[in-house]
Each structure stands twice: as C-alpha cells, then as structure tokens.
Amino acid sequence: MKKFISLLIAIAIIFILPASNTVQASDGKSFKQTYTTIEYLDNGDCIETTLVVSDSSKGTVNGTKTSTYKNSSNETLWYVSVTGTFSYNGTSSTCVSASGDSHSYSSNWTVSSPTVSKSGNTATSTATGKKRLFGIVVQTQTLSVTLSCSKNGVLS
C-alpha cells in the first residue's frame, strides 16, 4: 500500500510541476524553456505559445516568445515570434532591442512579415496568416505575441 501511495504522489508531482527544462544548444549556450501554454479556438485549432529564456546575466536578459498556429490534428501551420533584449535593475526594466520572425509550414497558408514594436519593458511582434483554398481566402488569423520583462528580469 505504501508503494502505491508513493507512486501516486510521484505521478501527481510530475503533472503539477510546470514544464521547465534546460537543453544545450549546438553552439554551447544553454537555453531554459520557461513555459508553454495552449489556447484552444472554437474551430478546433489551437495556438501554442512558448517562452524560451537565454543568455541571462546580471542586469540583462534575452528571450524569445513564439505563438504557433496548429490545426485540430495538431499539425503546425505557421508561427510568429518576438525576440527581445531587456535591461533591468530591480526598480525598472527596459526593452533594449526587439526583432520578429514568422513562417508558414503549410502550402495553404501565407503569413505576412511581422510588425515589430518595443515600448517600455515590452516587445511585440504581430503577423497575419491567411488560409487559401483554390486561391480564395477562407480564413484569416492575426497573432500578436508580446514579451515583457519585470523589474527583476523575469520574462513573461
């Protein structure tokens, strides 16, 4: 009975703890995946958003936040991302630089180049995907992804 209860507790801990892991990139830099969230849409598709923090040092932090549009079969169709560099000092934070990226993986979807902006402690990238069938636009979806930095250098 004790083994069974221990097993249940171990399984509960695995599912309760947030998704967080560190992986080694080919260039030797460490990247820490902070979290992934999924928003389900009324049509069965979903938007998966992932935040990856990299190159964090005292007073500066870099990160990338990506929103990926997936269909109801969980196939990746397209994405938009924002990458930002932030400075922070415990009292405030500022976005030093921002860039964006977008790409389509589906021949039915075209994606606009991202519009990127930075203001205060946030960086935002916005792109629009259009699904075409027989040359006719049948669906339009705009995704905007915002990366923010707290006064203590925590990205969200």
Q: Per-residue DSSP letters for 3-29? A: HHHHHHHHHHHHHHS---EEEE-TTS-
pLDDT value of position 84: 95
- Is pLDDT above 80 for 13? no
| Torsion-angle region of 89 (φ positive above 0: left; ψ -120 to 50: alpha; else: beta) | alpha
Q: Which domains does the chain carry? A: 20-148 (2.60.40)
pLDDT value of position 94: 96
- Is pLDDT above 60 for 87? yes
Q: Considering the chain, what percentage of its residues have pLDDT values greater than 90?
A: 71
pLDDT value of position 56: 73
How many residues in the chain? 156
- Is pLDDT above 90 for 104? yes
Is 0.85 topped by the overall pTM?
A: no
